[in-house]
Chain A
Amino acid sequence: MKERALTRPHADAARQLNLSSALLALSVLTDSGVEHYRGSFQNRVMYVPLGVAALTLGAGVFGMAQPRLRRHAARDSIYAVAAATGAAGFLFHAYNISKRPGGMSWLNLFYAAPIGAPIALTLAGLLGKGAEVARGHSIGRLAAAVSAVGLAGTAAEAALMHFRGAYHNPAMALPVSVPPVAATLLGAAVCAPGPRIGRLARWWLKFTALLGFAGVGFHAYGVSRNMGGWRNWSQNVLNGPPLPAPPSFTGLAIAGLAALRLMDEEAHTDRGVRR
């Protein structure tokens, strides 16, 4: 990673990574809040992701708002903790799945702790870290790669859950088709950068970001669709499609867009330097 001075667009892109991290952290905070409440916080450690996600969210907001664009030690450590907590959560969830009768079976993948969900916290940590590092280094391509992997992984998680729902509504195909295309285009932009690929990737990422918001609407419709609708919220918000989950696509898409900006800026500055 090359050291560099900070241009204005570069700073904005770094802040955008803070935003994406904050969005992911918000999604994790609310989603794990609801799901761990549903799990009755049976294991005390289930409180940890809520606290860490809250801190990560705070760090992201702070990172976006801060006028001096410098790395901050507290934010740095929070992001590191977030990444580690997500990884630990993944192991906890995998253990939860495998210890039930049937082990790693479809049934347990559907109904035990969701295997991919904690990774959202890791992504929030990694992207937040990227926001910090971007303040002094060229990490555009790395950020793009992380975003692409994140989009693909989140799409896989949505695919699993929508498979559980038997794709009963055609719209359920959207989060398993649109984000993977965005991820592929983002990956292509990393490997073979060019203006056309860049434009196409941006378009798909913006579409994906919108889809994340639309997803909340779809899930709200899904909650109202269950017996008793919103009046039966005490059951349907827990049982129904998770309202806080889709915005993680928005967070990752925004990270992808930020990464593209960083890549452009870094290439531009490189060319400037070489000239």
Chain B
Amino acid sequence: MPEFDNATDAPRATGGRAPDVFRVGGWVPMRQYRDDEVVDFAIVGTGAGGGTLACKLAEYGFSVVALDAGPYWRPLEDFASDEHHQAKLYWTDERIVDGDNPLQLGSNNSGKSVGGSTVHFAMVSLRFRPEWFKARTLLGYGVDWPLDWREMWTYYSEVEQALKISGPVTYPWGPHRPRYPYRPHELNAAALVLAKGAEALGIRWTPTPLATLSAPRGLAHPCVYRGMCVIGCATNAKQSVLVTWLPRALAAGAEIRDLAMVGTVEHSPAGLATGVRYFRDGRWRFQKARNVVVAGYAIETPRLLLNSASSRFPDGLANSSGLVGKNLMVQANQAVWGLMEQEIRAYKGPPSLAITEHWNYDDAGKDFFGGYCYMSQGPLPVVWSGTQSGKRGLWGQALLDEMQQYNHQVGLKIVGECLPQERNRVTLTEERDQYGLPVPRVTYSYCDNDQRLIRHSLRFMREALEVVDARQIWDETDDTCHLNGTARMGSDPKDSVVNADCRSWDMRNLWICDGSVFPTVGGVNPSLTIQAIACRTADRIRQLAARGEL
């Protein structure tokens, strides 16, 4: 039995090597840079944005150091089948939440791992509806993206190939897309309930395109349907950034620094980024870089930019528009639950094996802007008990009796589009965390359109359960997912933080490449889009470098 060196105690990516996530106790060589060596790119965060970008830039020949506050997990060895223990994957540092609809963070949407939130995500890998990239012009709400859907379509293909997405042979919605590299997974009973309900209501459904393997790939094993995806995949079937982009990044000469919390981005008197100040192995350090990419996801990214305020930039970096931290968007994650006569045992298999995007593509009869998809669910015991108690209000014998129905439980849950609102934002408080950095405050309130979308979805999903004879149906109204928008991209520096290339308007060598750059959020899970944007950004950086415009 290899010695368990605890990933959270001391950095693992040191001494010229990084963990080989595919081999128990194995290592891969890792190129290392000295702090005083000026690397081409210092990337803060190794998730869907930062990890993908680190890989692509390293493969294009740039020198890259990617820093992550989280540990460098070895999924085959470090992951236990236990919800409480696996909370180690989440961002559990303190954050304050307020607003009309205070958000749940932590396990709900925030990861702290090398590989970011993709280490615990539910692997749903969907493309944007093309019209959403021009939401204002074509659909009359939100704002337009400065990106063309046709360009994004090819980047989606690149990401789907890189992750060997397991998806249906043909996809029911949207323009033609190439066949998913791997075939879809078998449906569990919870997914079959969604399928039957959809057929009864006359709408299309599909097995969900998932970033988990339905066949072997290299040294990674196919899914064993253990159903613990959101607490960490212990088989490497889940194609997280940790087991896809990062091994490629290492092979291409990138350095990954785990347990490295970046506190500020420093800049020269001339107003150009010079590198990042970070805490690792007991002390503060400084990595010099020609370019800095901030990819900490929608709370840590604005937090870092605001905390990097200086006399020259009193409102934080890249913030001449005043929009850093603003327009925080989540996605509605409401659900409808019920009980079936048959045993469902939804804890088996990935949580969302079937999905319908009907209400993303059909606008008939909607009293709201935007769209939503809904998918089947398979909550594990602790999170399910939280839903029944904290959200539904059950306790005592009533809770125990209801929990006994666990194996007959079914549910449908949406990922719904919430509109950008400037009042929803990330700001800094006076409290300090364990690094001495200001604790962020996350303020969120729904708007009327959000509420109408939610009501529509609850009505429809209720019908979708009634029609398959589910009983004791109830609505879970207090849930959101994902985080986007706090450093949005646009074509006008007065109205956005970065341009279409994810380059900040204010500082030519400061880039932002994660979910913060979304101007609207759409009705699909964001991970595929974030990775596609990162691939595009890498291509643009290569072009700009070749033209001497970097």
A is bound by B: yes
Residues of A within 8 A of B192 (CB): 100-101
Complex interface: chain B residues within 8 A of A168 (CB): 182, 215-217
Find out whether the CB atom of A227 lies under 8 angstroms from the CB atom of B183: no
> Which B residues are CB-close (under 8 A) to A166?
164, 181-183, 214-215
- Write out the residue numbers on chain B whose beta carbons fall within 8 Å of the beta carbon of A222: 216
A110 contacts the other chain (Cβ, under 8 Å)?
yes
Question: Bound complex: CA of A100 vs CA of B205, how far in Å?
Answer: 13
A225 at the interface (CB under 8 A from B): yes
Cβ–Cβ contact A226 & B215, under 8 A? no
Interface residues of B in 224-252 (CB under 8 A from A): 224, 235, 237
Whether A107 pairs with B221 at a CB distance below 8 angstroms is no
State A164–B222 Cα separation when bound (angstroms).
Answer: 12
Distance between Cα atoms of A225 and B406 in the complex (Å): 33
Q: A118-176: which residues lie under 8 A (CB-CB) from chain B? A: 163-166, 168-169
State whether B187 touches A107 (Cβ < 8 A). yes
Q: Which chain A residue lies CB-closest to B217?
A: A168
On whether A165 and B195 interact (CB within 8 A), knowing A225-B221, A226-B224, A227-B224, the answer reads no
- Binary contact readout A201-243 vs B (1 if CB under 8 angstroms, 0 otherwise): 0000000000000000000001001111000100100010000
A180 vs chain B, min Cβ distance (A): 22
Determine if B281 is an interface residue (Cβ-Cβ < 8 Å): no
Question: How many A residues, CB 8 Å from partner?
Answer: 21
User: Which residues from chain B contact A111 at a C-beta distance below 8 Å?
Assistant: 186-187
- Indicate if the CB atoms of A101 and B183 lie closer than 8 Å: no
Q: Mark A106-119, 1 if CB is under 8 A from B, else 0.
A: 11001100000000
A195 at the interface (CB under 8 A from B): no
Residue of A with least CB distance to B220? A227
Q: Is the CB of A106 within 8 A of B168?
A: yes
Instruction: Report the minimum CB–CB distance from B468 to chain A (whole Å).
Output: 10
- Residues on A with C-beta less than 8 A from B207 are 107
Q: Is the CB of A226 within 8 A of B222?
A: yes
- Interface membership of A272, Cβ < 8 A: no
The smallest beta-carbon distance between B310 and chain A, in angstroms, is 51
In the assembled complex, which residues on chain A have CB atoms less than 8 Å from the CB atom of B186?
107, 110-111
Q: Is A102 an interface residue when CB atoms closer than 8 A count as contact?
A: yes
Residue among B164, B195, B215, B237 with max Cβ neighbours from chain A (10 Å): B215
Q: Is B420 an interface residue (CB 8 A)?
A: no
Give the number of residues in B that approach A within 8 Å (Cβ atoms). 26
Q: Is B184 an interface residue (CB 8 A)?
A: yes
B473 within 8 A of A: no
Is there contact, CB below 8 Å, between B215 and A165? yes
Interface of B is mostly: loop
Residues of A within 8 A of B184 (CB): 106-107, 110
**Which residues B151-202 have CB closer than 8 A to chain A?**
164, 168-170, 181-184, 186-187, 192, 195-196, 198-199
C-alpha gap A51/B544 in the complex (Å) = 71
> With A168-B217, A235-B224 as given contacts, are A227 and B199 in contact (CB-CB < 8 Å)?
no
CB distance from A63 to the nearest CB of B (A): 40
**What residues of B have a CB within 8 angstroms of the CB of A165 in the complex?**
183, 214-215
- Across the interface, name the chain B residue whose C-beta is closest to A102: B195
B183/A110 in contact, CB under 8 A: yes
- Chain A residues near B170 (CB, 8 Å)? 106
Residue of B nearest to A239 (CB): B224
Given the interface contacts A168-B217, A226-B221, does A107 sit within 8 Å of B196 by beta carbon?
A: no
With a cutoff of 8 Å between Cβ atoms, the chain B residues found around residue A232 in the complex are 224
Cα(A226)–Cα(B199), bound, Å: 34
How far, in whole Å, are A143 and B200 apart by their CA atoms in the complex?
48
Q: Is the CB of B168 within 8 A of A101?
A: no
Find chain B residues with CB under 8 A from A169 CB. Answer: 216
List, in ascending order, chain A residues with CB within 8 A of B214's CB.
164-166
1/0 per position for B450-492, CB-CB distance to A under 8 A?
0000000000000000000000000000000000000000000
Task: For residue A80, give the distance in angstroms from its CB to the closest CB of chain B.
Answer: 36
Cβ contacts under 8 Å, B196 to chain A: 101
Interchain nearest-CB distance for A176 vs B (Å): 16
Across-interface contacts of A235 in B (CB, < 8 A):
224
- Chain B residue numbers with a CB within 8 Å of A225 are 216, 221
A206 and B169 alpha carbons, distance in the complex (Å) = 35
Query: Which single residue of chain A is at the shortest CB-CB distance from B184?
Result: A107
Q: Which residue of B lies closest to A169 (CB)?
A: B216
List of B residues within 8 angstroms of A239 by Cβ: 224
Q: How far is the CB of A134 from chain B (nearest CB, A)?
A: 42
Q: How far apart are the CA atoms of A271 and B389 in the complex, in Å?
A: 89
Q: Contact at A101–B199, with CB atoms within 8 Å?
A: yes
With CB as the reference atom, state the residue of chain A lying closest to B195. A101
Closest Cβ–Cβ distance, residue A213 to chain B (whole Å): 22
* CA A47 to CA B217, docked complex, whole Å: 36
Residue from the list B169, B215, B221 in contact with A106, Cβ < 8 A? B169
Inter-chain contacts of B168 with A (CB < 8 A): 106-107
Docked complex Cα distance between A106 and B169 (Å): 7
* Residue numbers in A under 8 Å from B195 (CB-CB): 101-102
Closest Cβ neighbor of A172 among chain B residues: B215
Residue of B nearest to A103 (CB): B199
**When the two chains form the complex, which single residue of A100, A102, A164, A228 contacts B183, counting CB atoms closer than 8 Å?**
A164
Q: Which of A102, A111, A169, A225 has the most C-beta atoms of chain B within 10 angstroms of its own C-beta?
A: A102
Bound form: Cα–Cα A76–B119 in Å: 61
A-B pairs, top 5 by smallest CB distance, nearest first, are A101-B195, A227-B221, A111-B186, A106-B169, A227-B235
Binding site for B on A (CB under 8 A): 100-102, 106-107, 110-111, 163-166, 168-169, 222, 225-228, 232, 235, 239
Q: 6 A-B contacts, Cβ less than 8 Å apart?
A: A101-B196, A164-B183, A164-B215, A166-B164, A168-B182, A227-B222
If A226-B222, A227-B222 are given as contacts, then 13 extra A-B residue pairs at C-beta distance below 8 Å, sorted by A number, are A100-B192, A102-B195, A106-B183, A106-B184, A107-B168, A111-B186, A165-B214, A166-B183, A169-B216, A222-B216, A225-B221, A226-B221, A227-B221
